[in-house]
Chains A and B, each alone.
Chain A
């Protein structure tokens, strides 16, 4: 049984009397330990898909089975618990709380899962050292570079040991060198056996993942699956990005 199973997901918005079909019948299976990217231009529905997969939103219709739980009709409280325990988010704008230190930021998810202060500190430091940020634990986000902030954000996403990590344009706000480092970090997470999902508009970033799903007008337009096609992209391909233009800032 797949780790994540979507069946005929629809999401419609009503804006000023107009109905917008953000997702229009998406069905998808994701296995545990996969490294996937979702690509598509802005307005394609990829962000909506990520929000629904990330339990930030619920679909209008359709069923989602995440690790044996039917989350399409879960209560907000259950969704919050799933976000806390099973899901880690990495955002384009890092989304660290500016008033807290790096360590306190990393501790945040554990506060909501009710761990004691001592355990929180320990695990936060472990998580920070896994992204080589332990020496920055007392800094504030504003004292860090973009790459360091994103690493802190990854440490925060990892700290509750989630089953799946969602990264929404994680390199969108970084220069290309740093972006590559961050992508390498995701690849490492994938090697360690975690399920990682990148959401991007940039096909070159999407190229680092074995499986790519292209969304257009709320539907899956194209899917590259190594299991089907048999072409496993090499990570080396991405190194080309270094010499290319910085990624587009708009998502």
Chain B
């Protein structure tokens, strides 16, 4: 008996009981669909988290922060600790060859009240003013879309120029003008603590791929994006993907100015000593290669121990923890999803065993007849096994067809979650599992049918 006629007779048998077969398939359909859906959502989340890791500078970024909490044996020297200064930055530039670029950052945030960013009576709700060097752009993965960077000369002369994020623009100028064109306020003035600053550049708008797509669709439909960015950011602030959203919204709310401008124009208490002693919020740096992270950290540490006279009043902040968290949470979600989908498939498999057993007990006589006209035990075995595999394969295909619908439906219900990403690999795995389920489920009934004694089977009513 050739394979074609076995499959043909299997299909006939399934068609003869199509409703029963459909119910049986349902378990497999659910199993496959849930496996694909689960993996699509986890993959989507993974992509977003990885994007945001890259967006915040990748693994190469290292931040050196002040650490007020000195080790116990240095507690009595607390007064000597004056944190990170420009001296450290210059020292690192010269003496830490594993560091690619290093930049000082002094950050002032508007929501603490010490800073006010405004224009013509409009005020920015949240802004982070960073006095820094242009190389911060590279370290924090900023991209200038309009205008220019500030120059070394701007820094030297403490010019009141700034580069703004799109959220600042949205708050002070609006996003689109009356004709629906994007407003690019290069050359305009904004007030930072009542001091006029000229906008020389604007970053591109940072957003997830999904938001970008939505925005483009909205624009294509002729509507302006009614919802301002910050709302989504604040709304989703406590959601699962909050961290990610916050990274985008914080980058959009940045105002970058030369560090000298910040120190000389915005520091209220600027009269103490030179700029070199002004303590920095942090020192941001990028190393050449992630594989030398440990060595680079040691190098930076050695340099800083020198400039800080042996006081450990600084600490490192790397992205390794973030990357580890991403991997861990993705792994956990994958395992739990696999478990649920596996149980679905198991239940589907038990359903197949059940239906095949009842099917062969209905067909004892048929099996007897087939044997009497020359079917071997192997023929009968293959026939029953094929039927069960056909059910599982059909269920698997149906599950694959259903899963994009399921994914899209779920994604449209949950507006703010990460966009799911369906992968061919996940679909292949799910389909493979369904075929395996069918084969295993058919095994026992097929053996049982093959073992039937033809004489007994022919007498059976």
Please report A residues at the B interface, Cβ cutoff 8 Å. 51, 54, 56-57, 76-77, 80-81, 83-85, 89, 91, 95-97, 99, 108-109, 111-114, 117, 156, 160
Alpha-carbon distance between A54 and B375 when the two chains are bound, in angstroms: 14
State whether B16 touches A84 (Cβ < 8 A).
no
In the complex, number of A-B residue pairs with CB atoms less than 8 Å apart: 63
State whether B455 touches A111 (Cβ < 8 A).
no
State whether A111 touches B1 (Cβ < 8 A).
yes
Alpha-carbon distance between A163 and B378 when the two chains are bound, in angstroms: 25
State whether A114 touches B1 (Cβ < 8 A).
yes
Given A57-B455, A95-B458, A97-B366, answer yes or no on A83-B374 (Cβ-Cβ < 8 Å): yes
CB neighbours of B375 from chain A (8 A) = 80, 84, 112
Task: List 17 other contacts, CB 8 Å, given A95-B368, A117-B5.
Answer: A54-B372, A56-B372, A56-B454, A56-B458, A57-B455, A77-B377, A81-B374, A81-B376, A83-B372, A84-B375, A89-B373, A97-B366, A99-B16, A109-B373, A111-B1, A156-B373, A160-B374
Alpha-carbon distance between A225 and B275 when the two chains are bound, in angstroms: 131
Residue of A nearest to B17 (CB): A99
CB neighbours of B378 from chain A (8 A) = 77
Q: List 5 A-B contacts (CB under 8 A).
A: A76-B376, A80-B377, A80-B379, A112-B379, A114-B2
Alpha-carbon distance between A97 and B373 when the two chains are bound, in angstroms: 12
Contacting residue for B371 out of A80, A99, A156, A160, CB 8 A: A80
Task: Give the distance to chain A from B7, nearest Cβ to Cβ, in Å.
Answer: 12
Per-residue CB contact flags for chain B residues 170-202 toward chain A (1 = under 8 Å, else 0) read 000000000000000000000000000000000
Task: Give the distance to chain B from A159, nearest Cβ to Cβ, in Å.
Answer: 9
Residue of A nearest to B378 (CB): A77
Top 9 nearest A-B pairs by Cβ distance? A84-B374, A80-B376, A112-B374, A109-B373, A95-B369, A83-B374, A56-B454, A111-B5, A112-B375
Alpha-carbon distance between A117 and B377 when the two chains are bound, in angstroms: 22
CB neighbours of A108 from chain B (8 A) = 370, 373
Contacting residue for B374 out of A57, A95, A109, CB 8 A: A109
Residue of B nearest to A159 (CB): B373
CB neighbours of A51 from chain B (8 A) = 455
Alpha-carbon distance between A77 and B454 when the two chains are bound, in angstroms: 13
Residue of B nearest to A48 (CB): B455
CB neighbours of B379 from chain A (8 A) = 80, 112
State whether B455 touches A56 (Cβ < 8 A).
yes
Q: Does B365 contact A (CB under 8 A)?
A: yes
Alpha-carbon distance between A99 and B17 when the two chains are bound, in angstroms: 11
CB neighbours of B100 from chain A (8 A) = none
Residue of B nearest to A82 (CB): B374
Most interface-central of A91, A96, A111, A156 (chain B CB within 10 A): A111
